[in-house]
Amino acid sequence: MEYSLMLLVPAASFLALLFAGYLAAKVKSHDEGTPDMVAIAEAIREGARAYLKRQYTGVAIFFAVVLAIMVVLVVLEYIVVFVPLAFVTGGAFSALAGYIGMSIATASGARTANAAKSSLDAALQLAFSSGAVMGLAVVGLGLLDLSVWFYFLNWFYRDADLSTRITGIASTMLNFGLGASSVALFARVGGGIFTKAADVGADLVGKLEAGIPEDDPRNPAVIADNVGDNVGDVAGMGADLYESYVSSIVATSALAPAAGLSMEGIMAPMIVAAIGVLASVIGTFFVRSPKEAGQAGLSKALRKGVWTSSLLVALITFPLLTHLMPEHSTGVGIAVLSGLLGGVLIGTFTEWYTSPQYRWTRHLAETASTGPAPVLIQGLAVGFMSVAPIATVVAVVILVAFLASGGAGNYNLGLFGVGFAAVGMLSTLGITLATDAYGPVADNAGGIAEMTNQDPVVRERTDALDTLGNTTAATGKGFAIGSAALTAITLIAAYKEQVAILARKAGVSVDVTFSLLEPRVLVGVLLGSVLPFVFSAYIMQAVATSAQEIVVEVRRQFREIKGLMEGRAKPDYARCVDICTRVALKEMVTPTLVVVTVPVIVGLILNVQGVAGLLTGAVASGFMLAIAMSSAGGAWDNAKKHIEGGHHGGRGSGSHRAAVIGDTVGDPFKDTAGPSLNILIKLISMVSVVFAPFIIVNHLL
């Protein structure tokens, strides 16, 4: 057994965390700028900290409830004591990843704006370093959690026979996705509602009613909007991808025993992930000041870093796998490659549908001249259309990974390969997340520049960074969705394995064929397909409701605070932050309860067959809906930007008004509902896995 290679995992974890610490120190060594810049940055930081504190309190309550249930299940001997422990560590690390991301992002906004005074390159370096801190913290913490548990469990089971040890390690580790998923759900949904309530509310009154520009300091919701970028787009995304990362690894490991692999099968996903971390660290050095001017140059700078990392992973994976699992190295290697390549293709297609450089978004901008209704119809059509190529890429990745890793002969080995495709896609997360997380920093920098009346060239530079950030955000979203779908499928396979193992242990006979036409499975599929629709309906409503409250508050301040519009008085920013915090936390209760209880209720009635159907239906419709929402939202946003760039009448024209309506509808699509669906499809799998021991002996049909 090649335990020595496993040392790569903690090593990569430490390296990532150390390097993140070094970058964070470097970022903080820069000047935050003029006193008013510092003041605004401090206000944003304060708001973000206040929100996260209250969010984490809410999460803690949720964790306490779930822990209590778990303790009962432990006492009743349905689950082992490690499950609640793994649940807590997973949750804690995910929360920490989000917190670190938020801290560095709020520390970088003003610094990036200040750096933009000297040059575009300086600003890019700062914003990207800040993104890299978060990216590396996420993967570093992920591998840390994984390696601690692996070594502990390996020691704990030291006297057991190999088979018991392998199953014990795999099953226990699988459980800790639940903690990470739960935190991710709160972060994505809560943070997403916060950011969009503030954004939509600020825009509805500020831009549309009062006619003042975006990020105008007179708008009382402007600080809340900037806080939102940090708690939703940064902390939310960090927690989300932490969860994807860890889940894809543990789900793949969990399939190793069934695939006939021994300890090397459990370690392999972690080791490949470790390679990805090393490659990401190296990749960050390739993000260099753009020689060419403009978007193309910036975009190239980031892409160079990502591609270098991907290439490194591809090059190192094969020899490493040959050493680790000689029999399966080629197959699994191809699976990793297919995942890596799939991620790139998904990003490319997302860009094709959402970037104003291509025909879809251009045509959408053109449609705006005939009014809002055609913009909305056409934008939905673009989103719906984009589902086809992206889902096809994932379908092909699944088939290639399955067949290459030997699925035709050994079915479970094939599924193990599919899991590896997800691991491969996420292996370079350290750097891809960095390019993604840099966007909100640039966005905040722009806001701070605007609020402190900097020289127009500063705003120009931050705008250039921000526009690129929109594209990386869109590709990042595609990537998050694609990997979520692959991970979810791996989790369904892992669920099936767990059920088989548990049934053997409990001495019950459970049919795990999960035939499509078994009515319980079929009904499960139907109910599963419902979930994403209901879930996004709740979230969209929550955004609409909470934006409403902000609208009322902003109108009130405009009316009641004398001299506000003339710039003689300051608005009450804190009040808007408070409202957003309150509504975001309130509105996230129902969707969370739905996600956590539905798999259990379906299981209690329809047994594991119903649950397997539920998971499949939810992945199928949730994946499509998430893509459709993200793409439509991105296309609307960029069509608006395209018009603002002077096309079809430019700012203030009828086209622009129509496009702004499209963008406002797209906001909750792409930044709240869409990304939350990624977590939905994984969290319900996690809940199902944890409650499986209870369900297989307690069910109606």
Contacts 24+ apart (CB under 8 A), 648-653: 648/365, 648/366, 648/368, 648/369, 649/369
If the CB atoms of residues 211 and 646 are measured against a copy of itself, the closer one turns out to be: 211
If the CB atoms of residues 79 and 391 are measured against a copy of itself, the closer one turns out to be: 391
The one-letter amino acid code at 30 reads: H
If the CB atoms of residues 71 and 552 are measured against a copy of itself, the closer one turns out to be: 552
Write the DSSP assignment of 120-171 as a string of letters.
Answer: HHHHHHHHHHHHHHHHHHHHHHHHHHHHHHHHHHHHHTTTS-HHHHHHHHHH
**Smallest distance from a copy of itself to CB 617, Å:** 5
Token readout for 374 is 């055609």
Instruction: Count CB neighbours of 533 within 10 A.
Output: 13
If the CB atoms of residues 302 and 618 are measured against a copy of itself, the closer one turns out to be: 618
- Buried b or exposed e, range 552-564, using 16+ CB within 10 angstroms: ebbbebbeebeeb
DSSP label of 669? I
CA atoms within 13 A on the CB side of 205: 25
**Smallest distance from a copy of itself to CB 250, Å:** 18
**Smallest distance from a copy of itself to CB 684, Å:** 15
**Smallest distance from a copy of itself to CB 537, Å:** 4
DSSP label of 358? S
CA distance 461 to 125: 13
If the CB atoms of residues 439 and 633 are measured against a copy of itself, the closer one turns out to be: 633
Biggest CA-to-CA distance, the chain: 77
CA dihedral of residues 302, 304, 307, 313 (deg, nearest 10)? -100
DSSP label of 230? I
Q: Which of 465, 136, 135, 130 is nearest to 290 (CA)?
A: 465
**Smallest distance from a copy of itself to CB 402, Å:** 4
If the CB atoms of residues 3 and 533 are measured against a copy of itself, the closer one turns out to be: 533
The one-letter amino acid code at 437 reads: A
**Smallest distance from a copy of itself to CB 239, Å:** 25
CA atoms within 13 A on the CB side of 693: 17
Q: How far is CA 301 from the centre of its chain?
A: 23
CA distance 601 to 64: 21
If the CB atoms of residues 593 and 701 are measured against a copy of itself, the closer one turns out to be: 701
Token readout for 239 is 């927690």
If the CB atoms of residues 140 and 414 are measured against a copy of itself, the closer one turns out to be: 414
**Smallest distance from a copy of itself to CB 188, Å:** 18
If the CB atoms of residues 25 and 593 are measured against a copy of itself, the closer one turns out to be: 593
**Smallest distance from a copy of itself to CB 350, Å:** 15
**Smallest distance from a copy of itself to CB 204, Å:** 7
**Smallest distance from a copy of itself to CB 492, Å:** 7
**Smallest distance from a copy of itself to CB 372, Å:** 5
Contact at 8 Å (CB) between 531 and 680? yes
CA distance 489 to 370: 42
**Smallest distance from a copy of itself to CB 41, Å:** 30
3-class DSSP state of 572: coil
If the CB atoms of residues 81 and 516 are measured against a copy of itself, the closer one turns out to be: 516
The one-letter amino acid code at 334 reads: I
**Smallest distance from a copy of itself to CB 312, Å:** 29
- Residue 575 has phi, psi (to 5 degrees) of -60, -45
**Smallest distance from a copy of itself to CB 394, Å:** 7
CA distance 659 to 135: 33
If the CB atoms of residues 431 and 588 are measured against a copy of itself, the closer one turns out to be: 588
Contact at 8 Å (CB) between 214 and 557? no
- Residue 558 has phi, psi (to 5 degrees) of -55, -35
**Smallest distance from a copy of itself to CB 380, Å:** 6
**Smallest distance from a copy of itself to CB 625, Å:** 8
Contact at 8 Å (CB) between 340 and 313? yes
If the CB atoms of residues 80 and 212 are measured against a copy of itself, the closer one turns out to be: 212
If the CB atoms of residues 138 and 679 are measured against a copy of itself, the closer one turns out to be: 679
If the CB atoms of residues 267 and 527 are measured against a copy of itself, the closer one turns out to be: 527
CA dihedral of residues 213, 218, 223, 228 (deg, nearest 10)? -40
**Smallest distance from a copy of itself to CB 139, Å:** 28
CA distance 583 to 535: 17
**Smallest distance from a copy of itself to CB 338, Å:** 13
Radius of gyration of the chain (CA): 24
Write the DSSP assignment of 600-651 as a string of letters.
Answer: HHHHHHHHHHHHHHHHHHHHHHHHHHHHHHHHHHHHHHHHHHHHHTT-TT-T
Write the DSSP assignment of 263-303 as a string of letters.
Answer: HHHHHHHHHHHHHHHHHHHHHHTT----SS-HHHHHHHHHH
If the CB atoms of residues 236 and 524 are measured against a copy of itself, the closer one turns out to be: 524
If the CB atoms of residues 68 and 593 are measured against a copy of itself, the closer one turns out to be: 593
If the CB atoms of residues 174 and 441 are measured against a copy of itself, the closer one turns out to be: 174
Write the CA distances from 492 to 489, 505, 510, integer angstroms: 5, 20, 16
DSSP label of 205? I
If the CB atoms of residues 429 and 547 are measured against a copy of itself, the closer one turns out to be: 547
